[in-house]
């Protein structure tokens, strides 16, 4: 039986066409700036986001870290959501490696920080305080696209107080596809999102389906600083054109199809709503959360795993759709959860599990 892996959109595997593009990639030494496939991808991504320059990174964590270190100096701080990945789920890298203080702020159910809270958190120019230099937002957040009006208001507030703005675009193409709507242009929607920021990290190993890589986009000066930090933290790659080719293929073939992932997530949420003992929390893109009454979340995960269906349970049961999940997989998942919810509760203890990745 084919496994239905809904743990994350990071589990996607390169398609045969993507593998062919990787095999045919023209390569060089990227640390010397000689890899033509990397250079072409960086120029393309800079143009797509409306930025001057771009830099291929091995991971989104490294891309965000280098952005923070390029924007801030030792003793500076950045404003960030209490549950945002750049604060909570990236190993504390900004503080550990950059000596940059995070100032976490409360978020609402859509991941938004209050504008008044942002304003109040900006420190005065006084030696008692860290220097507030940067506002960091995340799009999407738990599958929720940030409203364009909020992006405009939050970044305008930050700039009025002398702050730069960075976007952790872990799933920014999902946000762009949602914003474009049926038949709309997701690349135009992407520009509408990124125009509010001084830098953006675009992750390519989630919904786009590339095996590795994020691209940091920003001004030429910022990317020059980030390139130095990339080398310091071990991100300098050599014949990275094989990875650039995968991302380039994804930009050509995997952006518009994100609508399929969103539709399947909506179908999954609809199929689970109303089942006894479940509370379904769905977003507008590719992530569905499920709360299970009676502390039976672990039992449900085990039930699904026994039927070849994988999900995670770190912050409520989470199901993430992606290009390797088809309609049949969604229907199998709905049927398996329905079976669980309509059977008598088990009295057996649930075996402990290792923590799940929030990605």
State pLDDT tens for residues 100-117.
Answer: 999 999 999 999 999 999
Domain ranges of the chain: 15-253, 257-341
Cα dihedral across residues 82, 85, 86, 87: positive or negative: positive
In the predicted model, is pLDDT for residue 246 greater than 90? yes
Architecture of the 15-253 domain: 3-Layer(aba) Sandwich (3.40)
pLDDT tens per residue across span 249-290: 999 999 999 999 999 999 999 999 999 999 999 889 999 999
* CA–CA dist 171, 149 (Å, integer): 18
Token pair for 13:
């595997």
At 34, is the pLDDT very low, low, confident or very high (cuts 50, 70, 90)?
Answer: very high
Q: What is the mean pLDDT of residues 142-148?
A: 96
pLDDT tens per residue across span 43-78: 999 999 999 999 999 999 999 999 999 999 999 999
Sheet holding 101-105, edge to edge: 53-57, 214-218, 199-203, 164-169, 131-138, 76-81, 101-105
In the predicted model, is pLDDT for residue 315 greater than 90? no
What's the N-to-C CA distance of the chain in angstroms? 25
For 257-341, CATH number out of 3.40.50.720, 3.90.1150.10, 3.90.45.10, 2.40.110.10 equals 3.90.1150.10
* Cβ partners under 8 Å of residue 24, min gap 6: 245
Beta bridge partners of 77: 101, 132
* Cβ partners under 8 Å of residue 221, min gap 6: none
The pTM score is: 0.94
Q: Give the per-residue pLDDT at 166.
A: 98
Confirm whether 15-253 and 257-341 share one CATH topology: no
Token pair for 93:
């890298």
Interhelix angle 172-180/186-194, rounded to 10 degrees, is 120
Q: What is the mean pLDDT of residues 117-132?
A: 96
pLDDT tens per residue across span 74-98: 999 999 999 999 999 999 999 999 9
At 351, is the pLDDT very low, low, confident or very high (cuts 50, 70, 90)?
Answer: very low
In this structure, the strands spanning 4-5 and 309-310 are parallel
* Cβ partners under 8 Å of residue 74, min gap 6: 98, 99, 100
At 326, is the pLDDT very low, low, confident or very high (cuts 50, 70, 90)?
Answer: very high
Q: Give the per-residue pLDDT at 316.
A: 78
pLDDT tens per residue across span 36-45: 999 999 999 9
Q: What is the mean pLDDT of residues 198-206?
A: 98
pLDDT tens per residue across span 205-245: 999 999 999 999 999 999 999 999 999 999 999 999 999 99
**In which element (H, E) is residue 77 found?**
strand 76-81
């Amino acid at each position: 039986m084919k496994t239905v892996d809904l743990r994350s959109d990071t589990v996607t595997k390169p398609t045969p066409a993507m593998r062919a593009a990787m095999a045919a990639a023209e390569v060089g030494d990227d640390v010397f700036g000689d890899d033509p496939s990397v250079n072409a991808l960086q120029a393309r991504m800079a143009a797509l986001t409306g930025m001057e320059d771009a830099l291929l990174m091995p991971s989104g964590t490294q891309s965000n870290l280098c952005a923070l270190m390029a924007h801030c100096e030792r003793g500076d701080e950045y404003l960030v959501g209490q549950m945002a990945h750049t604060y909570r789920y990236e190993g504390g890298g900004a503080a550990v490696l950059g000596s940059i203080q995070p100032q976490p702020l409360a978020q609402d159910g859509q991941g938004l920080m209050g504008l008044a809270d942002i304003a109040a958190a900006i420190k005065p120019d006084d030696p008692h305080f860290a220097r507030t230099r940067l506002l960091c937002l995340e799009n999407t957040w738990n599958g929720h696209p940030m409203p364009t009006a909020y992006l405009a208001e939050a970044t305008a507030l930050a700039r009025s107080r002398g702050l730069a703005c960075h976007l952790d675009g872990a799933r920014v193409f999902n946000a762009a596809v949602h914003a474009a709507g049926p038949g709309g242009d997701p690349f135009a929607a992407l520009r509408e999102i990124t125009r509010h920021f001084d830098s953006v990290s675009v992750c390519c190993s989630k919904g786009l389906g590339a095996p590795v890589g994020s691209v940091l986009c920003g001004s030429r000066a910022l990317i020059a600083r980030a390139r130095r930090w990339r080398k310091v933290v071990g991100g300098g790659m050599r014949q990275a054109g094989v990875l650039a080719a995968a991302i380039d293929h994804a930009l050509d073939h995997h952006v518009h199809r994100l609508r399929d992932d969103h539709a399947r997530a909506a179908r999954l949420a609809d199929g689970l709503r109303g089942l006894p003992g479940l509370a379904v929390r769905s977003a507008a893109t590719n992530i569905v959360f499920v709360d299970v009454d009676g502390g039976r979340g672990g039992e449900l995960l085990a039930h699904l795993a026994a039927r070849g269906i994988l999900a995670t349970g770190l912050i409520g049961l989470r199901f993430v759709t992606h290009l390797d999940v088809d309609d049949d997989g969604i229907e199998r998942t709905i049927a398996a959860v329905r079976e669980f919810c309509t059977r008598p509760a088990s009295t057996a203890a649930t075996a402990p599990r290792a923590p799940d990745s929030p990605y």
